[in-house]
Amino acid sequence: MKKLFKNIQNKANALAIKAKCALDNAKAEGYIDTGVKIIIGVVVGAVILAGLYALFSGVILPTLEGRIEGMFNYSGT
């Protein structure tokens, strides 16, 4: 019985050592993860802004300009 408990204790100690080593090796993972999130955010933001700029300059503003000119060019006939 004593041998069984000693064997369980050794396995638990080995598992604890493996877990500690795995946690010690993951320190830089947070920095890389944060950097990738920032880069993705910047790229997605730039794509959205470029799309909005293209939409406003090509579709919305010319249509709006035509409608405003149509309102002020009323000939009264």
pTM over cut 0.95: no
Instruction: Give me the domain span that covers residue 37.
Output: 2-72
**In a domain? residue 23:** yes
Look at the chain and report how many structural domains it folds into.
1
Q: Rounded to whole angstroms, how far apart are CA atoms 61 and 68?
A: 10
pLDDT tens-digit series, residues 24-49: 665 556 777 888 899 999 999 999 99
- Mean of the pLDDT values across residues 8-33? 75
**In a domain? residue 62:** yes
pLDDT higher than 90, residue 58 = no
pLDDT tens-digit series, residues 66-75: 888 888 877 6
Task: Record the tokens describing residue 6, joined without a space.
Answer: 């000693």
pLDDT of residue 7: 83
**In a domain? residue 77:** no
